[in-house]
């Protein structure tokens, strides 16, 4: 009797863990066949058992093994989305969130109401949603609204190996949320998915998980990849080297004519004839560092191996190139124009596009070690055959660019099979390393570099630098070649250089300012940020810098003894958040911009400041006309567009008051004009604007307007995409708002009498830098050179250049930024006030302005 009872209890316990129901999914047979090939399918049972028995599970598997697309489906089938909670999946990249949700919906034969996505500006989530893909930032915002994330029964943190800042924070937070949920009888699971096996930061971190979570490894059916190192490591012209290597591969190495069965099914599903998969296999994937490099290599390849598209695969881009490609089979030397870095539009933003290479196409260079490698090449016989056809490559090359700013329709092309009879060649940036798996790649060309944003923690100067990748990244890249058959990876660097690479890439959190994170965490009532269970903690310096900035923005309360940051440090960085800080935290933008929004409810400025902030946070709103062109005709067309774009910027900058708003007025004018012009692709193209950016700005304006209305109900901003230009008085107010947010980014022009060194001519002095900084020639204020300006950021290219410059008036500074000023006694009037950061300035104001409240000073006319 007793035994039976205990057995029953056991059974019950098991039943509790077991899914209540098995939810059938009606997949198409073709899809099912492709799924069955994926390595994670073999581990389904083990994965699901581990999930059932543990609060948190770490899942490691090679890119392409099926983690992202399959694990949410396992959970769905096991009933995790049917017991009142949904399955949430976070991705560090927007592209991945969107494309993965579509893919899973297709595989499950479910509408996108059920498998949905949410990114910063858009989504298709409904109340029927069961699986939700989102960016990590979106989930972080949701935690602020509902700390227990009651909506979710499972949260999957995908691409954890990328160590993006939000992913790290989410893991830290979820390590607390999950046990809390389970204690409250609301069971919840956490699955951390990573492409590399290096997960000790998550599992061995006692601060995170007291009992280390189990790690499940998915053995990918990875084919052997032969890695070939270069003998020499080209230091500058690695794009030229990449180009030459691709040419060689294409001429000498065969396409895989044996179709992979899964490809056949996949492609027949996509309604291509089976014959079209014959050429899929020998695909080439090239890793470069930036957009401009990608375009330049694409262009050279298209010229070298012209491909005339047939109807089926035509699109505007290819047609353009198709026209050109009538010319030369045998290439002539073409020297590309040097790209001027001395131009704003060439300034890289985020995944920038600095491309200094100006090389000569020589396809038959000596010194490469390819021939040597061919000796042990398994396809050596065929190679010889192909080599004979060297000067007449019969197989056209279907060249596609891939980078994160590329329009989504263009991005999606890499998943489709190349046109019949052509070989696929994808020229990509880092995005192809882990987030997207391109089918049919056999050859990988790896330049060994990546473009990364670097911040100087002390000065806040950021710059894009091309640096060596880590060994883990290099191996990831090589792995892309062995997905469907044995492959080859050509590294454009020597094995000695590889040996010097760091083993793993650094976590992003250690490389960037953390003020936004600290504010978000304070809003979650995590006062002692130093004690937070970061998988990798940011440096103490970075945390102090963030806390200082937030105090000066008055988002945090001042520590008892102001100015003594040593005290602050010892107190464990525990300044509590202020009401202003809470308002700021509600805006999905960094604290400096959030402050502008929090104060913007004056003189009818809100709609304008929302627009300015939206435009400042969107990447590259202007089209870049500085990429290397080809023909003379093309060059002159490009020059014409460039001139037109510059002219439009001058128009948008306006005159008088509005000119003083500087580059921010240009942004405002561009958005305003674009909205009045209907915000069409044509309008954007004609006026030098990037259409995708303008749509993003529009969406962000909507989102910020909602956030503003939610935070201060009396603000009542009415969202109208069209916006009348601001009045003079409003522009004056906008400049003050900008100053209030960018207070630590003040710069003062060096006066003639201070000019000691000619390098300071027309230069500005900033609080933290010893070096001169400049207003960029393409800035609206380049000729005006106001005495005081604030800037959005400093980018270092050929010089230190300020981006996003706006003129401010000296007398606003003591009123708005008393924290940055030292005041003399009130009796010495008119008091010279001394701003230690920017130098001595005469001020005819009384220092009674020492404390100002929330309101800006009334506008002076
Ligand atoms: P992982 O997350 O482990 O890197 P994924 O689940 O992303 O793997 O990919 C599994 C497989 O699904 C890959 O072979 C990939 O090529 C395929 N796949 C993913 N997205 C698409 C898509 N949009 N169209 C066709 N195949 C896709
Ligand atoms: Mg994945």
> Residue 574's pLDDT is what?
77
The 10 Å CB-count burial string (b at 16+, else e) for 153-185 is: bbbbbbbbbbbbbbbbbbbbbbbebbbebeeee
Q: How far is the CA of 94 from the centre of ligand 2 (A)?
A: 13
The ligand 1 atom nearest the CA atom of 40: 3
353 against 517, higher pLDDT: 517
Q: Is the CB of 239 under 6 A from ligand 1?
A: no
Calculate mean pLDDT across residues 432-455: 86
Model confidence at 57: pLDDT above 70: yes
Question: What count of other Cβ atoms lies within 10 Å of the Cβ of residue 312?
Answer: 9
> Residue 714's pLDDT is what?
61
Q: How far is the CA of 102 from the centre of ligand 2 (A)?
A: 14
Q: How far is the CA of 38 from the centre of ligand 1 (A)?
A: 9
Model confidence at 260: pLDDT above 50: no
Burial class (CB in 10 A: 0-12, 13-18, 19+), 641: middle
32: pLDDT confidence band, cut at 50, 70 and 90?
very high
The 10 Å CB-count burial string (b at 16+, else e) for 331-350 is: beeeebeebebebbbbbbbe
Model confidence at 798: pLDDT above 80: yes
539 against 118, higher pLDDT: 118
> Residue 203's pLDDT is what?
84
Calculate mean pLDDT across residues 425-440: 85
What is the overall mean pLDDT for the chain?
A: 77
Q: Whose CA is nearest to atom 18 of ligand 1?
A: 437
The ligand 1 atom nearest the CA atom of 62: 3
393: pLDDT confidence band, cut at 50, 70 and 90?
low
> Residue 79's pLDDT is what?
93
Model confidence at 270: pLDDT above 70: no
Q: pTM for the complete prediction?
A: 0.70
The ligand 1 atom nearest the CA atom of 158: 2
For 291-339, write each residue's pLDDT tens digit: 889 999 999 998 888 766 543 333 333 333 334 333 333 333 333 223 2
For 619-668, write each residue's pLDDT tens digit: 788 987 776 556 788 888 888 888 999 999 999 999 988 899 999 999 99
Q: Whose CA is nearest to atom 21 of ligand 1?
A: 103
Q: How much of the chain exceeds pLDDT 70, in percent? A: 75
Calculate mean pLDDT across residues 674-700: 90
> Residue 824's pLDDT is what?
52
93: pLDDT confidence band, cut at 50, 70 and 90?
confident
Q: How far is the CA of 796 from the centre of ligand 2 (A)?
A: 34
Calculate mean pLDDT across residues 397-425: 85
β-pairing, 788-796 vs 800-808, is antiparallel
Tokens linked to 78? 């096991």
The three-state (H, E, C) secondary structure of 418-459, written as one string: CCCCCEEEEEECHHHCCCCCCCCEEEEEECCEEEEEEECCCC
Q: How much of the chain exceeds pLDDT 90, in percent? A: 35
For 194-235, write each residue's pLDDT tens digit: 987 778 888 888 888 888 999 999 987 678 899 999 988 887
| Alpha helices, DSSP H, located in 259-306 | 261-269, 291-304
For 124-174, write each residue's pLDDT tens digit: 999 999 999 999 989 998 998 899 999 999 999 999 988 888 898 999 999
For 488-512, write each residue's pLDDT tens digit: 999 999 999 999 999 888 888 888 8
Q: How far is the CA of 415 from the centre of ligand 2 (A)?
A: 15
> Residue 91's pLDDT is what?
94
Complex ipTM? 0.98
Q: Whose CA is nearest to atom 22 of ligand 1?
A: 103
The ligand 1 atom nearest the CA atom of 103: 23
> Residue 370's pLDDT is what?
28
Phi, psi angles (nearest 5°) of residue 442: -115, -25
Nearest C-alpha neighbor of 858 from the set 732, 752, 773: 732
Q: Is the CB of 331 under 6 A from ligand 1?
A: no
Looking at all shown ligands, the one closest to residue 71's CA atom is: 1
> Residue 247's pLDDT is what?
92
Q: Which of 31, 33, 58, 64 to mutate to test the pocket of ligand 1 (most atoms within 8 A of CB)?
A: 64
């Amino acid at each position: 009797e007793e035994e039976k009872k205990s057995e029953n209890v056991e059974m019950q316990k098991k039943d509790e863990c077991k899914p209540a129901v098995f939810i059938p999914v009606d997949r198409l047979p073709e899809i099912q066949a492709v799924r069955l090939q994926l390595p994670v399918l073999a581990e389904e049972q083990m994965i699901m058992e581990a999930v059932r028995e543990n609060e948190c599970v770490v899942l490691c598997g090679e890119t392409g093994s099926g983690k992202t697309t399959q694990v949410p489906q396992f959970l769905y089938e096991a009933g995790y989305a049917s017991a009142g909670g949904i399955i949430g999946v976070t991705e560090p990249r927007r592209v991945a969130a969107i494309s993965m949700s579509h893919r899973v919906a297709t595989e499950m034969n479910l509408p996108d109401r059920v498998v949905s996505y949410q990114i910063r500006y858009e989504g298709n989530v409904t109340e029927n949603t069961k699986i939700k893909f989102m960016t990590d930032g979106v989930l972080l915002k949701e935690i602020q609204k509902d700390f227990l994330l009651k909506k979710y029964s499972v949260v999957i943190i995908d691409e954890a190996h990328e160590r993006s800042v939000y992913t790290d924070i989410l893991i830290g937070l979820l390590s607390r949320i999950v046990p809390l949920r389970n204690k409250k009888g609301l069971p919840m699971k956490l699955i951390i998915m990573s492409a590399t096996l290096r997960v000790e930061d998550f599992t061995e971190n006692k601060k995170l998980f007291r009992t280390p979570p189990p790690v499940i490894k998915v053995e990918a059916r990875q084919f052997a990849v032969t890695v070939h190192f270069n003998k020499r490591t080209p230091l500058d012209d690695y794009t030229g080297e990449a180009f030459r290597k691709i040419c060689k591969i294409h001429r000498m190495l065969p396409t895989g004519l044996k179709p992979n069965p899964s490809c056949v099914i996949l492609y027949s599903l996509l309604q291509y004839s089976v014959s079209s998969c014959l050429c899929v296999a020998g695909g080439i994937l090239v890793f470069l560092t930036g957009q401009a490099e990608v375009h330049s290599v694409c262009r050279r390849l298209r010229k070298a191996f012209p491909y005339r598209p047939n109807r089926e695969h035509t699109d505007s881009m290819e047609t353009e190139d198709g026209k050109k490609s009538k010319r030369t089979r045998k290439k002539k030397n073409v020297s590309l124009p040097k790209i001027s870095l001395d131009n704003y539009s060439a300034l890289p933003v985020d995944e920038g596009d600095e491309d200094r290479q100006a090389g000569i196409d020589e396809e038959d260079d000596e010194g490469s070690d390819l021939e040597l490698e061919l000796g042990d090449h398994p396809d050596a016989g065929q190679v010889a055959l192909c080599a004979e056809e060297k000067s007449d490559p019969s197989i056209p090359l279907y060249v596609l660019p891939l980078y994160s700013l590329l329009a989504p329709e263009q991005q999606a092309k890499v998943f489709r099979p190349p046109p019949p009879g052509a070989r696929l060649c994808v020229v990509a940036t880092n995005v192809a390393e882990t987030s997207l798996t391109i089918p049919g790649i056999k050859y990988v060309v790896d330049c060994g570099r990546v473009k990364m944003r670097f911040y100087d923690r002390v000065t806040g100067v950021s710059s894009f630098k091309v640096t060596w990748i880590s060994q883990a990244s290099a191996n990831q890249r090589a792995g892309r070649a062995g997905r469907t058959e044995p492959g080859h990876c050509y590294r454009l660097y020597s094995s000695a250089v590889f040996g010097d690479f760091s083993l793993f890439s650094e976590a992003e959190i250690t490389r960037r300012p953390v003020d936004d994170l600290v504010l978000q965490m304070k809003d979650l009532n995590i006062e002692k940020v130093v004690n937070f269970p970061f998988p990798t903690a940011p440096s103490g310096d970075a945390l102090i810098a963030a806390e200082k900035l937030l105090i000066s923005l008055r988002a945090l309360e001042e520590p008892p003894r102001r100015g003594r940051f040593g005290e602050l440090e010892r107190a464990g960085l525990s300044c509590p958040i202020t009401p202003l800080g809470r308002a700021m935290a509600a805006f999905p933008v960094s604290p400096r911009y959030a402050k502008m929004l929090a104060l913007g409810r004056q003189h009818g400025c809100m709609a304008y400041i929302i627009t300015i902030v939206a435009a400042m946070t969107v990447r590259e709103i202007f089209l870049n006309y500085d990429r290397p062109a080809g023909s003379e005709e093309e060059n002159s067309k490009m020059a014409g567009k460039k001139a037109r774009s510059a002219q439009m910027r001058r128009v948008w900058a306006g005159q008088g008051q509005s000119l003083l708003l500087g580059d921010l007025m240009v942004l405002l004018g561009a958005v305003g004009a674009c909205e009045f012009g209907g915000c069409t692709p044509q309008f954007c193209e004609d006026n030098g604007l990037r259409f995708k950016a303008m749509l993003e700005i529009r969406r962000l304006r909507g989102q910020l307007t909602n956030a503003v209305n939610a935070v201060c109900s009396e603000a009542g901003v009415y969202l109208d995409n069209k916006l009348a230009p601001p009045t003079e008085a409003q522009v004056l107010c906008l400049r003050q708002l900008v100053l209030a947010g960018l207070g630590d980014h003040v710069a003062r022009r060096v006066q003639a009498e201070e000019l000691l060194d000619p390098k300071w001519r027309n230069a500005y002095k900033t609080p933290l830098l010893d070096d001169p900084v400049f207003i960029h020639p393409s800035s609206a204020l380049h000729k005006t050179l106001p005495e005081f300006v604030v800037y959005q950021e400093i980018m270092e290219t050929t010089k230190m250049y300020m981006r996003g410059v706006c003129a401010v008036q000296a007398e606003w500074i003591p009123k708005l930024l008393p924290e940055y000023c030292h005041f003399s006694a009130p009796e010495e009037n008119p008091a010279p006030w001394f701003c230690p950061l920017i130098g001595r300035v005469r001020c005819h104001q009384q220092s009674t302005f020492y404390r100002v409240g929330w309101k800006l000073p009334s506008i002076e006319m």
